[in-house]
């Protein structure tokens, strides 16, 4: 099938209404490098949630770097499961915060019946890597080592959960804890996670980057902007705490659920990460939401992709590791680290 045919097939999978709505955001495209502060303000304005002091509490966790990491604790309307979901929000490590994800976290608490703790980690570009990761590690260790944020019976009661860049942070936190010889959480849930650095359609090994990297909820250019603001050093982007897919050892990590969106450029790398976990002996369950776009965790709670995702999440929390269906996932080798500038045969770096 030619390029025009593939584009037509892609657009046919998205409803006309969805395409029209997405078109409002696609023209003109936001330049995240210049407009991230405007996007942050717009997010806060559009995501206002009425205060609920009976079920929402703000706390802080002291860090070794001398600052306090803000967190927001959400109680479910009905507690049906013990334990805590420790949530790292998405937004390309650059936008998003506890305010813009408050509605999503309330929904998460209610639909899972679990306490949710959302981390307001520092954002790039003002605070590039590893600032955000360190904040997430600080809160994770505080929760695993004591009841300061929520009552738990032990580390097995803690599940890390994150979407997009937050899924990346959850995977990185687990890797960092293991490398430090620290206590690990019981499980991790990665929702359409970023797992590697290369989102250039010309060089990425993943077909979903080329199929869904333009004209939809998230573009390859935006992902590349985000990751370059998060880690300005190009060579350092290929390290496992930024690109967990390339880690040499993925064994001994918490059991994992990876949920991807069908119409998302990050789909293939998320599923590849789950396969790599499984190959290393880490229990991993792979699920895909058909017809879903990147970012479905922030949809209204009656939206079909959201309800479908939470059916998978709740079954995983109850211990189910069997997949709801068999996915045909082609074996794709992760991208190789680029040659250092000046090396013979080093490819020219292209921005998508």
Residue 10's alpha-carbon distances to 7, 42, 344, in angstroms, are 5, 29, 39
Q: How many Cβ atoms from other residues are within 10 Å of residue 210's Cβ?
A: 18
In 3D space, the residue among 214, 190, 161, 200 whose CA is nearest the CA of residue 272 turns out to be 190
Tokens of 5: 């045919």
Catalytic residue check, 67: no
Instruction: Give the helix ranges, DSSP H, for the chain.
Output: 3-12, 16-26, 32-46, 102-112, 131-145, 165-180, 207-212, 220-230, 267-279, 304-317
Tokens of 258: 């990876």
User: Out of 164, 174, 204, 243, which one is annotated catalytic?
Assistant: 164
Q: State the distance between the two ends of the chain, measured CA to CA, in whole angstroms.
A: 22
Give helix 32-46 / helix 220-230 axis angle, nearest 10°. Answer: 100
Catalytic residue check, 264: yes
Catalytic residue check, 294: yes
Instruction: Give the helix ranges, DSSP H, for 47-159.
Output: 102-112, 131-145
Strands 68-74, 56-62: pairing is: antiparallel
CB-count burial class (<10 Å; 0-12, 13-18, 19+) for 301 = middle
Instruction: Give the helix ranges, DSSP H, for 49-192.
Output: 102-112, 131-145, 165-180
In 3D space, the residue among 2, 33, 19 whose CA is nearest the CA of residue 221 turns out to be 33
User: Out of 198, 200, 264, 268, which one is annotated catalytic?
Assistant: 264
Report, as residue numbers or ranges, the catalytic residues: 164, 264, 294
């Amino acid at each position: 099938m030619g390029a025009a045919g593939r584009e037509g097939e892609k657009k046919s999978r998205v409803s006309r209404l969805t395409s029209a709505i997405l078109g409002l955001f696609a023209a003109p495209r936001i330049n995240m490098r210049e407009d991230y502060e405007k996007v942050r303000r717009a997010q806060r304005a559009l995501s206002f949630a009425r205060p609920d002091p009976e079920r929402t509490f703000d706390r802080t966790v002291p860090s070794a770097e001398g600052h306090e990491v803000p967190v927001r604790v959400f109680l479910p309307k009905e507690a049906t499961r013990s334990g805590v979901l420790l949530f790292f929000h998405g937004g390309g490590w650059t936008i998003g915060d506890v305010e813009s994800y408050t509605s999503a976290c309330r929904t998460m608490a209610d639909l899972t019946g679990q306490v949710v703790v959302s981390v307001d980690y520092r954002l790039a570009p003002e605070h590039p890597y590893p600032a955000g990761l360190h904040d997430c590690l600080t809160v994770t260790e505080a929760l695993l080592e004591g009841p300061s944020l929520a009552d738990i019976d032990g580390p097995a009661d803690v599940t890390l959960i994150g979407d997009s860049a937050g899924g990346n942070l959850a995977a990185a936190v687990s890797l960092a804890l293991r490398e430090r010889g620290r206590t690990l959480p019981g499980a991790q849930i990665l929702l359409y996670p970023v797992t590697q650095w290369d989102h250039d359609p010309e060089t990425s090994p993943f077909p979903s980057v080329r199929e869904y990297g333009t004209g939809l909820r998230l573009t390859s250019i935006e992902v590349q902007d985000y990751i370059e603001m998060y880690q300005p050093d190009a060579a350092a982007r290929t390290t496992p705490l930024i690109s967990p897919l390339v880690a040499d050892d993925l064994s001994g990590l918490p059991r994992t659920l990876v949920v991807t969106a069908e119409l998302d450029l990050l789909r293939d790398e998320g599923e590849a990460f789950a396969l790599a976990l499984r190959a290393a002996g880490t229990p991993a369950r792979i699920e895909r939401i058909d017809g879903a776009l990147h970012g479905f965790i922030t949809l209204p709670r009656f939206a079909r992709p959201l309800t479908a995702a939470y059916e998978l999440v709740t079954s995983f929390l109850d211990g189910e590791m069997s997949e709801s269906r068999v996915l045909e996932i082609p074996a794709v080798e992760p991208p190789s680290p680029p040659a250092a500038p000046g090396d013979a045969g080093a490819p020219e770096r292209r921005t998508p």
